[in-house]
Structure 1
Amino acid sequence: MTIVQAPRAVSTTAPPRASRDTGIDFLRALCVLGVVLLHAIMVGVTVGESGPVFDNASDGTAWIAPLSWFLQVMPLFFVIGGFSGLLAYQRMRQRGGTAIGFVAGRVHRLLRPAIFTIAVIGLALALLTVSGVPADLIATAGFRYGQPLWFLGVFLLCQALLPLLAASHERAPLRTIGALAVAAIAVDVLRAASGLEGLGFLNLAFVWMTLQQLGFFLADGSIDRLSRGIRAAAGGAALLTLVVTFAFGIYSPDLIANINPPTAALLLVGVAHTSLLSLHRERLERFSRRPRVAAFTGFVTVRTMTIYLWHMPVLLLMAGFTAVFALMTGMTLPALDSAGWWAGRPLWLATAVALTALVAVAFTRFESQPAPPATSSRRRLVVGTLSGLVGIVLLLALGTSVATALIAIALIAVSLRLSSLSSAPGASQSASPAARLVPA
């Protein structure tokens, strides 16, 4: 991985906006809420003869496919990440900041709350172990916790490469996004032709970087300069192509299934989402300025990563408490996907959102505090970023256990140390209040 400083002259992009786009911020907040709701509704808890059983409630159901069309928001999230990231990087460059300062700030914004969360989870798993909880239940909890961490690793990679990709966008915007999209499609073709499912995980880079790159076109005004008819046609064509791929069995109509590993179907979803966003952006921004909407947006904006990192531990705690309560009282839990199960979903979802919000309030400081000023170099930053990525990948590949949590904590600590912001002139801009308010 190479982190470079792009030229200071900006020739193909529009000047950075003077103020935040509240409509985009509101849409990002909705995406975060959508992720919490999706994961919450997929949690299934029952009690069998051998004890508690924790399952994915959506497995083998008919409702997950249509629901995924509303709650599969990750493509849009990466488009927004590209939009916000490019504008933040441009503002930093105008103030004299560097690519090193930008990436270091992103590393701290993403990994500082993560190291605390992983430490708490590791401690919780250790306490469960000494308390005599069956090893298979502990392993399930560690696996469920680690699943959403793919986003942290991929988003960190995309943001670390943003200065390099931004420079490429300035030189050749269409060739850059075209090359990334072709690479994503090629991975799908090779995966299908060879039968090697592992090849699909290459798209953890290509699919999400393509969608981030699409956000650059939204940020520099290229999409807004197109006529409304062209934008609507692009969105419609993407949606039609998506339906055709479903009809011919190329991709699953369950958009959640297209995320592990990611497929090029998500690129079509991203184009359709971006088309809708561009067509309704002014209306969205007006709506986002309403007091209650703005309050919701403001709450989530400064806690985006904290909410994402803590919503799964909250759900695991809710699932464990439900199982323990059922065992202690003899209460019969409704079968998954039954009428009784669905009747309890509104209360379950509301509780998940409320508890996640409370936890986020308690731990926001780990996300919002400025990165410590120190000396850094490009080489140290590259090594530090890779160290953090390896720590996250470790939890994904081997599962979260006491041992893997300790190793991941050590690797992320090294990442934060090596990625400390430079005290060189101009680099401190990345730790300014304005930069800190840019959500990861």
Structure 2
Amino acid sequence: MTDTLERQHARSIRPEASTRPRTGVRRDASVDAIRVVLLGMVFVLHAMMVGVGVGPDGPVLENALEHQAWFGPVSWVVQIMPLFFIVGGFSSLTHWRSMRARGATPAEYVVARIERLVRPAVALVAVVSGSLVALSLAGMPAELVGIAGFRIGQPLWFLGVYLAVSALVPAMVRAHERAPVLAPLALFAGVVAVDVVRLSTGVDAIGFVNLLLVWLLVQQLGFHLADGALDRLARPTLAGIAGASLALLAVLTVAGPYPVDMLVNLNPPTVCLVVLGVAQLALFQLARPRIRAWVERRDAARPISFVGERAMTVYLWHMPVLVGLAGLALIANAAVGLPLPEPLSFGWWASRPLWLVVAAAVVAIVVLVFSRFERTSRPRAGGRSTRGAAPGNGATAIAAVSAVAGVAVLLVAGFGPLPAFLSLVLLWFARRAPSRPVRRPAVRVSRAIP
């Protein structure tokens, strides 16, 4: 039944979207390119948020864009996480189907994904926590160290959620293949139900159930993108879907109970992110032919691949670099009087281009240093250990939970010595899940990030 469905899906996909390189994982120039663009947007957004200065009580490290009324409409453009998970769903589906066709089990896929995502995270936790401890011993105020750790840890929510949804890819692909319409509708009903309960009770903690439901639903949209469902839609239809989604989003936020700021809707995730994701999906589908043509015309596939292979390293390390540069600015202010313009003042805006250039250059250097932890990650023969064993389902589930918990500890408790140590233990355990011996040929796994 599954083979029949896959043949039907394959016939519906356009030839240019279904070419397969030797790795066996289907690549799409538009998906690879937009992932790099989205990564750049995340960096620019976080760089613009850095507000550093000296107040009456000492150094200040704050989010310069927080609580700004004008930022709400802007967030509709810069909140790109829905599209990030959509293109992740595209790549995850093609990656898992490629492994499955060569005999890999769901557990092997999950262990390979854990290995790929956790390795660079271990390096980050070790270096950042060690650096913060050193700064504390050197006399930096505990409050400032805590703020630095909090700011560095904020983007890690993505890693935790991405680990969780990646671990569920085989199950969600099965649901997609058996019920391509019912599966996302069921998830959508769950998202709406969580929002209704949260808004009616006023208990925000209930909304964090949508950390899983919202992003699983958005990932399912990526499955439909990979299967070519959107290729069959006319351009006016896609434009209509985008317009209707944005109109609904306006009703939900301007007249409805949700905030206009899409970054506020991120914590906890709400149905607004799903609606925004549908609009982004339609707009991306409209732009895909031009993106492919641009990649071919500029011969940009190689630099795009270069960045893509280091994407998780860029994501994990850009915030430590930004916080570190902010700290250096404070030191320079105290030592040589380096001016620190008031956030959002004319001088602050005028200094942003230089700030972005310097930050991008330092991020590039740091990524070149630490990308070896990501690029040298070689999943153990499709999830198997080097001893020729494949992971069991139970051990794989424990490993996935351990990996997510290792990130959650940092999000809740910060980069203190004890939380960092516990996080490292959990992440290390996630990579050393017990395995059972099997007798099957090894499966080669692509190192590309979905």
TM range (shorter): over 0.9
Among 215, 218, 221, which residue is 1:211 paired with?
218
1:371 is matched with 379
C-alpha displacement of 1:49: 3.2
1:99 is matched with 106
Inter-CA distance 323–292: structure 2 relative to 1 (3 Å threshold): farther
- Given the two structures, how large is their TM-score scaled by the length of structure 1? 0.93
- Given the two structures, how large is their TM-score scaled by the length of structure 2? 0.91
Among 5, 18, 21, which residue is 2:20 paired with?
18
Among 42, 46, 62, which residue is 1:39 paired with?
46
Q: Deviations over 1:322-358 (max 9, x none)?
A: 0111011234411111000000111111222221122
- Which of structure 1's runs of 4+ aligned residues deviate more than 6 A? 419-423
Q: Deviations over 1:226-283 (max 9, x none)?
A: 2333222221111110111122142222111111111110111110111011122111
Q: Which amino acid aligns with 2:313?
A: T
C-alpha displacement of 1:421: 10
SS at match of 1:344: helix
Q: Superposed, which structure 2 residues align to 1:177-216 within 5 Å?
A: 177-216=184-223
Q: Which amino acid aligns with 2:198?
A: R
Q: Deviations over 1:394-430 (max 9, x none)?
A: 111112212111110010000001177977524x32x
Aligned counterparts of 2:400 and 2:106: Cα–Cα separation in 1: 13
2:14 is matched with none
Fraction of identical pairs, as percent: 41
Aligned counterparts of 2:121 and 2:139: Cα–Cα separation in 1: 27
Aligned counterparts of 1:21 and 1:188: Cα–Cα separation in 2: 35
Most deviating of 299-308 and 245-254 = 245-254
Q: Which amino acid aligns with 1:31?
A: L
Q: Deviations over 1:177-205 (max 9, x none)?
A: 00111111111111110000111111100
Aligned counterparts of 2:184 and 2:132: Cα–Cα separation in 1: 42
Structure 2: 5+ residue stretches without partners: 12-17, 22-26
SS at match of 1:224: helix
CA contact (8 A) 1:8 1:93 kept: no
C-alpha displacement of 1:47: 0.9
- 1:238 and 2:245 equivalent? yes
Among 69, 75, 82, which residue is 1:62 paired with?
69
Count the aligned residue pairs.
Answer: 430
Structure 1: 5+ residue stretches without partners: 1-5
Q: Superposed, which structure 2 residues align to 1:165-184 within 5 Å?
A: 165-184=172-191
C-alpha displacement of 1:66: 3.2
Among 352, 356, 359, which residue is 1:349 paired with?
356
Q: Superposed, which structure 2 residues align to 1:220-369 within 5 Å?
A: 220-291=227-298, 293-369=300-376
Aligned counterparts of 1:74 and 1:25: Cα–Cα separation in 2: 15
Q: Deviations over 1:289-325 (max 9, x none)?
A: 2446434412221011000000010001111000111
Q: Which amino acid aligns with 1:399?
A: G
C-alpha displacement of 1:68: 1.6
CA contact (8 A) 2:114 2:400 kept: yes
CA contact (8 A) 2:153 2:415 kept: yes
Q: Which amino acid aligns with 1:61?
A: Q
Among 399, 402, 405, which residue is 2:420 paired with?
405
Aligned counterparts of 1:169 and 1:326: Cα–Cα separation in 2: 56
Inter-CA distance 357–416: structure 2 relative to 1 (3 Å threshold): same
CA RMSD in angstroms, aligned pairs only: 1.9
